[in-house]
Amino acid sequence: LIACDSSTSMITSLTPSVSYAEVGILMGIILRQKCERVTLCLFDSTLKLPQVPKGPVLESVNRIVKRYVTGGSTEGYLVAKYAQESGYNYNKVFVFTDMQLWDSTSRSMYSWQQHDSRFEPLWQAYRKDHPEATLSIINLAGYSTTFSDLRQKGVYLVAGWSDKLFDMLDSI
């Protein structure tokens, strides 16, 4: 499962002409092309499952950005919920994000500080059914937050943007 954050904070620019969302989607599509069976999803206030034929990567990125990237809050828990409810056995889950997750179910005006408190219990429920599953969080903005306990077996974090991320994708 490859999940790309398409929330409002990801629309901010990494460079004058490229947003974090575009980089995350680009990396997600590159990774998708290396896999036999994979689901690519985008998440913001909702979870979206774009139909992307294998083909030219940049064309696919542009198509997805124009059609699906609308901004909104970052409901990261939707990724873990989808994994749990889909019935698929995802042995690897990749999340490309800036880690600025939101829990809009909270009534607190500081719910952003909870770092999406709904993600972790849903991920743990998924891991209970699929103990071999790993979670790789690619934090494109390098903020010092996380939404999963990194001390757990099978949870990995790569923080900050670097062209070395392409080497990581190549090694998978």
Express each pLDDT in 17-59 by its tens digit. 888 899 999 999 988 988 888 999 999 999 999 988 777 889 9
pLDDT at 109 over 60: no
Q: What is the pLDDT of residue 139?
A: 86
Q: What percent of the chain has pLDDT over 70?
A: 81
Question: How confident is the model over 143-172, as a mean pLDDT?
Answer: 71
* Adjacent-strand bridge partners of 155: 135
Phi-psi label, residue 106: left if phi above 0, alpha if psi -120 to 50, beta otherwise: beta
Which pLDDT does position 26 carry in this prediction?
92
Q: Give the full edge-to-edge strand order of the sheet including 92-97.
A: 47-48, 40-43, 2-5, 92-97, 134-139, 155-159
Please give the DSSP secondary-structure letter assigned to residue 154. T
pLDDT of residue 113: 46
Report, as an integer, the average pLDDT of 73-95: 93
3-state secondary structure of 22: helix
- From the number of C-beta atoms within 10 Å of its C-beta (0-12, 13-18, 19+), residue 169 rates as middle
Is 156 in contact with 136 (CB distance < 8 Å)?
yes
* pLDDT band at 141; cut points 50, 70, 90: confident
User: 145 or 132, which is more confident?
Assistant: 132
pLDDT score recorded for residue 116: 55
